[in-house]
Amino acid sequence: MEPLLTKYVREPNSFTLDFYLQHQGYEGLRKALALKPDEVIEMVKVSGLRGRGGAGFPTGMKWQFVDKKSPNPRYIACNADESEPGTFKDHLLMERNPYLLIEGCAIACYAVGARVAYIYIRGEFLHVQHILEQAIADAYARGFLGKNVLGSGFDCDVFVHRGAGAYEAGEETALIESLEGKRAQPRNKPPFPAVVGLYNCPTAVNNVETLCNVPLILFNGAAWFASLGPEKNGGPKLYCVSGHVKRPGVYEASMQVTLRELIETRAGGARDGRRIKAVIPGGSSVPILLPDQLDTQASFDGVQKAGSLLGSAGLVVLDDTTCMVWLAGNLLHFYRHESCGKCTPCREGTDWLYKILRRIECGEGQMRDLDLLSSISANIGGKTLCAFGDAAVTPVLTGLKHFRHEYEAHIKEGRCPLPADWRARATVGAH
């Protein structure tokens, strides 16, 4: 499949409006405005587009849930918080192809009956914010945004809001709270944002990549889009391959592709000729896959069948120098730091998981610590307010499942069993 989303990212002017207009820019929006909003939603439903933010929820269905009977205004909130470890695809899209996102926002607004979209962008993405703001200003100047878009009578405003730099702000309800000027802590669901969202008004929260696919669907048709991938996994997909590979980067492919092809062919395979020990296919928040599972189809359904989740499609590749206790400790260092602190099991539990993992890694653990790890994880997973809790315990639970022997070796030997020069590299980041 030839790249669609990232086709022009290497062109020096790919982020300018003129370039965009020379390459079918805003044709999707034009087509959308000629349809009824419900027809746009129907198209997106038929295309089989699934959310690229992590959960893979069908986008058309999400839009349909947006409460049309409410007397309140409706909103689109674009999730550009991209903070999942090993995930950097939205950044590329916004930096190199900002108009695709803006066009996607406008079509989404039209479809759900909103007239305002907020792009909630990660705190650290300052220069991307500037690019987006320039793009938005140009779009207003040429009548693609603002009052009476393209003479259709449809009004649409797009604003960029930069967060303060918190992973949890990417959770959709925490994002809404943060947009409202509050702490980025998630709300209880239900009610879902589609009914009670931003300022308590119906809101659809969509990932950047998700919205970028929308103009393609409108321009090329729903059937075309669906045909690009396996059933229910239509359209192009961006994969972020990182870790111990030769050519880390963003790769666009049909979801027909396998993990092996992405890692070995596109990213050049493990560096230094080493052996791959494990792959986390969806950032850091999903179960670990083993080397014998590399032929898994890298689609939402394929990865799920293999016992993990595609998540944000951040493929973190780990070679055999990786200490799995260190890995868990490193990730828990992240989760402990990023827990929003709202609910007790996650706030207190991630801290204990981290402390216990660190003491095992340093050779100070005891066998009963392994039971503590399991029981704390059991108190967190599935019991917390948001999915962060499940994500946080996944490295521990799947680590213990596949690499229990490595944990036990740390405890028995009182030190990391891997060669010392490997360990030296491994401690980076854990403090």
Partner 1 sequence: MYSTDYIDQGTPRVDSSKTVTLEIDGVPVTVPEGTSIMRAAASIDRRIPKLCATDTLKAFGSCRLCLVEIEGRKGYPASCTTYVADGIKVRTESPRLTQLRRGVMELYLSDHPLDCVTCPANGHCELQDMAEDLDLTQSRYGLSGANHQHAPTDTSNPYFTFDPAMCIVCSRCVRACDEVQGTFALTIQGRGFQSKVSASQNEPFLASECVSCGACVEACPTVALTEKSVIELGRPDHAVTTTCGYCGVGCSFKAEVKDGQVVRMAPNRDGHANHGHACVKGRFAFGYATHPDRVTTPMIRGSINEPWRQVSWDEAINYAATEFRRIQAKYGRDSIGGIPSSRCTNEETFLVQKLVRAAFGNNNVDTCARVCHSPTGYGLKNTIGESAGTQAFDSVMKADTIIVMGANPTEGHPVFASQLKRRLRQGAKLIVIDPREIALVRTPHIEADCHLQVRPGTNVALFNAIAHVIVTEGLTKENYVADRCEIDSYRKWRTFVAEPRNSPEETAASTGVAPGLVRRAARLYATAGNGAIYYGLGVTEHSQGSTMVMCIANLAMATGNLGREGVGVNPLRGQNNVQGSCDMGSFPHEFSGYRHVGDPAVRTMFERDWGVALQSEPGLRLPNMFEAALDGSFKGLYVQGEDPAQSDPDTQHVTAALAAMECVVVQDLFLNETAKYAHVFLPGSSFLEKDGTFTNAERRVSRVRKVMEPRAGFQDWEVTCLLSNALGYPMHYRHPSEIMNEIARLTPVFAGFTYEKLDRLGSIQWPCNDKAPEGTPTMHVGEFVRGKGKFFVTEFVPTSERATRRYPLLLTTGRVLTQYNVGAQTRRTANVAWASADRLEIHPHDAEVRGIKDGDLVGLTSRSGDIVLPAVVTDRVRPGVVYTTFHFPDSGANVVTTENSDWATNCPEYKVTAVEIVKVNQPSAWQKRHREFTDRQLEFLKGGDVTHA
Ligand X SMILES: Cc1cc2nc3c(=O)[nH]c(=O)nc-3n(C[C@H](O)[C@H](O)[C@H](O)COP(=O)(O)O)c2cc1C
Residue 319 touching ligand X (CB under 6 A): no
Burial class from Cβ neighbours inside 10 Å (0-12, 13-18, 19+) for residue 295 reads exposed
> What's the one-letter identity of residue 426?
A
Minimal distance, residue 85 CB to partner 1, in Å: 16
Cβ closest to partner 1, residue 235 vs residue 381: 381
Q: In whole angstroms, how close is the CB of 238 to ligand X at the nearest point?
A: 12
Of residues 183 through 222, those in contact with ligand X by CB under 6 A are 205-207, 210
Choose which of 92, 201, 340, 426 interacts with ligand SF4 (CB under 6 A).
340
Site stretch for ligand SF4 (CB under 6 A), options 93-101, 293-301, 342-350, 359-367 = 342-350
The binding track of 126-165 with respect to ligand X, each residue x by CB under 6 A or -, is ----------------------------------------
Interface with partner 1 (CB under 8 A), residue from 355, 402, 415, 423? 355
- Rule CB under 6 A: say whether 377 interacts with ligand SF4: no
CA distance 75 to 171: 17
Q: Which of 431, 400, 426, 207 is nearest to 334 (CA)?
A: 431
Show contacts with ligand X in window 63-102 (CB under 6 A).
79, 81-84
Q: How far is the CB of 178 from ligand X (least distance, A)?
A: 12
Inter-residue contact 105 to 76 (CB < 8 Å): yes
CA distances from 212 to 57, 221, 239, 314 (A): 16, 15, 15, 18
Among 168, 172, 209, 252, binds ligand SF4 (CB under 6 A): 168
What CA–CA distances, in Å, run from 158 to 23, 331, 369?
Answer: 22, 35, 51
User: CA 85 to CA 91: how far, in whole Å?
Assistant: 13
Neighbours of 298 (CB within 10 A): 27
| E strand or H helix that includes residue 316 | strand 314-319
Write out the two tokens for 87: 């995930």
The option from partner 1, ligand SF4, ligand X, none interacting with 207 (CB < 5 to 8 A, set by class) reads ligand X
Q: Which residues, numbered 183-222, are part of the site for ligand SF4 (CB under 6 A)?
A: 186
Are 297 and 230 within 8 A, CB to CB?
yes
Binding partner 1 by CB under 8 A: which of 375, 401, 413, 429?
375
Query: How many positions of this chain bind ligand SF4 (CB under 6 A)?
Result: 14
- Residue 411 exposure: Cα atoms within 13 Å on the Cβ side: 14
Give the residue carrying structure tokens 């603002």: 146
The binder of 383, among partner 1, ligand X, ligand SF4, none, by C-beta within 5 to 8 A per type, is partner 1
Residue (of 215, 296, 260) closest to 4 by Cα position? 215
- For residue 189, the minimal CB distance to ligand SF4 (Å) is 11
What residues make contact with ligand SF4 under the rule CB under 6 A? 168, 186, 339-343, 346-347, 384-386, 388-389
Interface residues toward partner 1, by CB under 8 A: 166, 168, 183, 188, 336-352, 355, 372, 375-376, 378-379, 382-385
